[in-house]
Amino acid sequence: MEANGFCVENCRAVITGASSGLGAEFARQLAPQAELLVLVARRAEALEMVKKELSGLKAKVLCFVSDLAKDEGRDAVAAFLVENGIKPTLLINNAGMGDYGSFVSSSAEKTRSQIELNITALTMLTHALLPLMERPAGIVNVSSLASTLPMPDLAVYAASKAYVTSFSEALAIELAPENISVCCTCPGPTPTNFSKTAKREDGSDTNRDGQGLLRIPPAQVVRESLAALRHGQACVFPGVGVSIAGRVFRLMPRRLMRMILRRRARNA
Residue selected from 46, 92, 140, 151 as contacting ligand NAP according to rule CB under 6 A = 46
Closest approach, Cβ 30 to ligand NAP, in A, equals 15
Q: Which residues, other chains included, contact 60 with Cβ-Cβ below 8 Å and sequence gap of 6+?
A: 35, 36, 37
Instruction: Based on the shown chain and the rule CB under 6 A, indicate whether residue 183 belongs to the binding site for ligand NAP.
Output: no
Closest approach, Cβ 53 to ligand NAP, in A, equals 14
Residues in a beta bridge with 137: 180
Residue selected from 43, 52, 60, 247 as contacting ligand NAP according to rule CB under 6 A = 43
Region from 14-22, 75-83, 240-248, 258-266 binding ligand NAP, contact rule CB under 6 A: 14-22
In this structure, are strands 90-93 and 60-65 parallel, antiparallel, or unpaired?
unpaired
- Shorter beta-carbon distance to ligand NAP: residue 21 or 246: 21
Residues in a beta bridge with 16: 40
Are 90 and 14 a contacting pair, CB within 8 Å? yes
Q: Which of residues 75-94 bind ligand NAP (CB under 6 A)?
A: 94
- Shorter beta-carbon distance to ligand NAP: residue 120 or 204: 120
Report residue 187 CA to chain centroid gap.
9
Q: Which of 52, 70, 87, 161 is catalytic?
A: 161
Q: How many alpha carbons lie under 13 Å from residue 37 in its C-beta half-sphere?
A: 36
- What is residue 36's three-state secondary structure? strand
Q: What is the DSSP letter of 35?
A: S
Closest CA to 187 of 249, 143, 247: 143
Instruction: Based on the shown chain and the rule CB under 6 A, indicate whether residue 187 belongs to the binding site for ligand NAP.
Output: yes
- Shorter beta-carbon distance to ligand NAP: residue 196 or 266: 196
Q: Which of residues 103-162 bind ligand NAP (CB under 6 A)?
A: 117, 142, 144
Closest approach, Cβ 65 to ligand NAP, in A, equals 8
Residue selected from 42, 112, 200, 231 as contacting ligand NAP according to rule CB under 6 A = 42
Q: Which of residues 50-69 bind ligand NAP (CB under 6 A)?
A: 67-69
- Number of other CB atoms surrounding residue 70 within 10 Å: 15
Indicate if 163 belongs to the active site. no
Preceding amide of 136 cis, omega within 30: yes
Closest CA to 150 of 233, 267, 220, 254: 254
Preceding amide of 218 cis, omega within 30: no
Number of residues in contact with ligand NAP, rule: CB under 6 A?
Answer: 29
Residues in a beta bridge with 117: none
Region from 15-23, 99-107, 239-247, 256-264 binding ligand NAP, contact rule CB under 6 A: 15-23
**Catalytic positions, written as ranges:** 157, 161
What is the contact surface with ligand NAP in residues (CB under 6 A)?
16-23, 41-43, 46, 67-69, 94-97, 117, 142, 144, 187, 189-190, 192-194, 197
